[in-house]
Amino acid sequence: MDDQLINILRTLVATATPLTIAAIGETLTERAGVINLSLDGSLALAAMTGFGVALLSSSPELGLLAAMAVGAAVASIIAFANIGLRLDQVAIGFVLTLLAADLAEFLGVPIAGQPGPGMPYWPLPILSEIPIIGRIFFDHNALVYFSYVLVIGTWFWLFRTRAGLAQRAVGERPAAAFARGTRVNRQRVLYTVAGGALVGLAGAAYTLSLRVGWTTPPSMLGDGWIALAIVIFGGWHPFRVMLGAYLFAGLKALAGALQGTDIAIPVTLLNGLPWLLMIATLLVVSSGGVERLLRLLPRRWQTRLRSVLRSDPPRALGTRFDEG
Amino acid sequence: MTESQAPLWARLSSRALPIFGALAVITLLLLILQALTPIEAGPLEVLDAFIRSLTARGELSPRKLGNVVEFWIPLVLVSMGLVVTFRAGLWNIGVEGQIVMGGLFAAGAAFSLADLPPLLLVPLCLIAAMIGGALWALLAGVLRTRFGVNEIFGGVALNALANQITLQLIAGAWRPRDSDKAQYSRDIPEAAMLPGIDRAFDISLLALILAGVAIVVVLLLLNGTRWGLNLKATGHNARSALLLGVPVGASALGAMALCGGLAGLAGSQRILFTDGLVTSQFSGGIGFIGLLVVLLVGMRGLWVPLVALLFTIILNAGTQFQFIQLDSSLTGVLQGVLVLLVMLFSGARERWLHHRQQRKAKAI
């Protein structure tokens, strides 16, 4: 494999990291039945705060913590408004996404364009020595490796632990979960805030890892919506969500690579591609097209493939539950 | 005593309570900002900026009021459209792209039919704008009703695509002849421009009348026709299927088309009156502000014109913020905080009323 291709794939992994972390955070939240629609603004506000704190304290680690706190704070407003005040999740999330993005721009004015500290480069010993794979996957910083652990850990949590089973029950059948003694709303608050903290971390991954620094307008604007779509495309399953994030990052890496060559593709088309892909992926999983394709296959394969490809949202997603 | 039995003044002040609460918190936030950051301006300076954005030499300035009305017109058009889609249970976030497509269709008509007399050209441009906005809205609508793609995500993607189409046109077909910069298009032909009233109060009378018509038509449609009632029923059902939607049918498509048409008209006002050419971000975020307006009034159409005026005044004050060393993005923050706090306070008020009623019921 030539160096150029390896470099493109390496960029792909770096680009996919914030998307993966954000989409996994949202997956955790939505699995408990809550939609955090504020992703796009939360990412920007956390990214700005993370870089700002890292700049002032010269410590990227402190920046990560601050960003997580911001993400968690925004998410806790949604949890409070929805569970405490019985307001619509989507409405609050939408207002917050606009507000957080504007707040990021307003408060970020003094630090825009400044150089600052980023996550330290940390090639993993031994693993990064593996030919090709090592350079692509293990030649980054700690945040990138964290995203791998996060995906596997989330899968294990959701599908192999009792707590994860209870979480899914809260998102699927809150009444049944409540009858079995689960404190439904307490769980929802917990996973909304935890998911929000991960979204905050993803925000910091843009300004402290992917490309160090804060710019106006922020470079990640729009990615929050893509992350929300990735969760749907990923069928609320960590591995498929990660696949979705890599698909979108792949498109970006490809667009970046193409811009350097003499292949004449209008820039506007390249910039429009992720959005076309977003519509296309949602079309595939939402229109019943998958189901129709499956029916063409032998019955034995149908059931097996269906369990892998199915994209049913958590049944109680977006609804409120009154513990009465 | 339940709320509906209370005297009128009590009901009104109770409704206004969330707004006063929100204003108090905003004042507090500005004070904190002043105390803790290098920003020198506080609530008083911000208030002063608001006053100066409307007055000149201590008197209301017709020119500045004209600026407010000029921005109020497209905002009201968009917001009235959004009242319709919200009534149908649809989150038409794609309204921003519908404004853009309306503006582009209007500009396209103006460029290609430039030889026609103004009396013919202007109506054709406006019709083109409505068609452009409606088509872009129907695209999101069909994605939702036929293919189950949630309109929020379809809308966000279509917004981004509309912006890319704008950039492509500015850099390509509509590029100014004497320039190779891709910042804006060449000028719209004079014959297609909406005439202004007066230099001192510079608004388009035609656009103002259209906005008035839109307000009346939407209110009548929603409250006085069978279609409006059907829409309400659709809306209630649709809310239960949020992410992978159930098909919500033809009345939802009608709502989208109407909203898209009004948004397109709003876009054409930006191009054919305010700007006179196509820039990359010509909508000025009216679509999102419109969504905030409608969320703030709780989807009751009657209050839309008034709240839209309030938001326009906030936005207009942004032009004064630079003089007190505040970034104009503060306008977005103020609008967002206002809507968020009013929603939270209203929610808290509802809960409080609910609790009180329950306690009373128990006591009896």
Q: Does residue B9 register a pLDDT over 90?
A: no
Q: What SS3 state is found at A104?
A: helix
Return mean pLDDT, chain A.
92
In a domain, A93, yes or no: yes
Judge: B157–A276 Cβ closer than 8 Å, yes or no. Answer: yes
> Considering its fold, how many domains does chain A have in total?
1
Domain match, B336 and B351 both: yes
Is there a contact between A85 and B348 if contact means CB atoms under 8 Å apart? yes
Selection from A98, A89, A137, A322 nearest residue A221 by Cα: A98
For the record, the structure tokens of A56 come out as: 């002032």
Output the domain CATH number for residue B308.
1.10.3470
B241 touches chain A (CB under 8 A): no
Within 13 A of B248's CA, how many CA atoms are on the CB side?
A: 37
Interface touch B350/A287, C-beta < 8 Å:
no
- How many Cβ atoms sit within 10 Å of the Cβ of residue A278? 26
B103 near B270, Cβ under 8 Å?
Answer: yes
C-beta of residue B108 within 8 angstroms of C-beta of residue B151: no
Q: Longest Cα pair distance anywhere in chain A, in angstroms?
A: 65
Does any domain span residue B61? no
Domain that holds residue B22: 6-34+43-52+331-364
Query: At how many degrees (to 10) do helices B226-240 and B205-224 cross?
Result: 80
For residue B146, count other CB atoms closer than 10 A to its CB: 11
What DSSP designation does A123 have?
A: P
Answer yes or no: is A227 within a domain. no
Element (H, E) at A13: helix A3-31
Q: How confident is the model at residue A24 (pLDDT cuts 50, 70, 90)?
A: very high
Assigned domain for A268 exists = no
* Lowest-confidence segment of A71-75, A293-297, B186-190 by average pLDDT: A293-297
Same domain? For B128 and B188 the reply is yes
Work out the minimum CA distance from B274 to partner chain A, whole angstroms: 24
Contacts of A192 (CB under 8 A, 6+ apart): A29, A32, A34, A36, A75, A76, A78, A79
Q: Does B60 map to a domain?
A: no
Question: Both B149 and B20 in a single domain?
Answer: no
Report the relative pairing of strands B55-56 and B59-60 from DSSP bridges. antiparallel
- A163 min Cα distance to partner chain B (Å): 25
**Cβ(B150)–Cβ(A286) below 8 Å:** yes
Task: Decide if A114 contacts A216 (C-beta within 8 A).
Answer: no
So what's the pLDDT on residue B2? 46
The burial class, CB within 10 Å (0-12 / 13-18 / 19+), for A124 is: middle
Q: Residues B191, B257: one domain?
A: yes
Tell which residue, B100, B75, B241, B106, has the closest CA to residue B158. B100
Nearest to B347 among A81, A269, A313 (CB): A81
Is residue B261, in this structure, part of any structural domain at all?
yes
Q: Are residues B139 and B280 in the same domain?
A: yes
* Domain assignment of residue A173, given as a range: 3-219
B191 shares its domain with B153: yes
Q: Is the pLDDT of residue A54 over 90?
A: yes
Of B152, B157, B292, the CB nearest to A275: B157
Summarize pLDDT for B297-338 with one digit per residue, the tens. Answer: 876 778 899 999 999 999 999 888 888 888 888 999 999 999
Chain A CB contacts of B344 under 8 Å are: 81, 85, 87
Q: Is there a domain that residue B168 lies in?
A: yes
Provide the number of structural domains found in chain B: 2
Confidence band for B245, pLDDT divided at 50, 70 and 90: very low
CB contact under 8 A, B154 and A110: no
Q: Are B136 and B95 in contact (CB under 8 A)?
A: no
Q: What is the mean pLDDT of residues A251-276?
A: 82
Q: Above pLDDT 70, what percent of chain A?
A: 98
CA dihedral A185, A187, A193, A196 (to 10 degrees): -110
Same domain flag for B85 and B166: yes
**B243 and B284 housed in the same domain:** yes
* Cα B85 off chain centre by: 13
Q: Which of B85, B240, B242, B288 is best to mutate for the A interface (most A CBs within 10 A)?
A: B242
Q: Which residues of B touch A44 (CB under 8 A)?
A: none
